[in-house]
Amino acid sequence: MQSQVVCSGCRTLLLYPRGAPNVRCALCSTVTPVQPTGLEMDRIICGCCHTLLMYTRGATSVRCLCCQTVNLTNVNPSPAPNQVATVRCGSCQITLMYPYGAPSVKCAVCQYVTNVGSATHSQSQTVVVENPMSFDETGKLVSNVVVGVTTEKK
């Protein structure tokens, strides 16, 4: 039987025979120690930087070592597991992932609760379009600028 581990050097997924104490990566030659076989491991792709993360099965969240994003695991699968959003923690500024539509998210690092409902509902966007200069009916060179503002409510 084979198991899997993520290379600690290049983050490649490595296959190895069960019982091996460590594995050498064929790509970067880094030796990665293997967790004791008593721990059930699972993997998840970071929602921010797309790095493959390994974690102990049963964990509710995993912090990415590359971008520091706290990723939610799928311990109790929801009906729509792909609908997640990200927000910065209101206290420590770490990027948090949460199920889309949730009113708030609690940071696993500093325990601060960030409200996400109001931040996503009242975003305004300003659009400035500058077209090439043209000539008016009298022959004068004029600029063509259009400004638009929208407040999108969901």
At residue 120, the pLDDT reads: 42
What does the pLDDT look like over 59-70, one tens digit per residue? 888 888 888 888
Q: Is the pTM of this model over 0.75?
A: no
Cα of 37 vs its chain's centroid, Å: 29
Q: How long a stretch of residues is the chain?
A: 154
pLDDT the model gives residue 116? 83
Mean pLDDT for the chain overall: 77
- Report pLDDT digits (tens) over 119-130: 444 455 666 667
The whole-angstrom separation of Cα 64 and Cα 29 is: 23
Cα–Cα distance, 116 to 3 (Å, whole number): 39
Q: How far apart are CA 127 and CA 146, in angstroms?
A: 8
Q: In which band, very low, low, confident or very high, does the pLDDT at 108 lie, cut at 50, 70 and 90?
A: confident
Mean pLDDT, rounded, for 135-139 = 83
How many CB atoms sit inside 10 A of residue 116's CB? Answer: 20
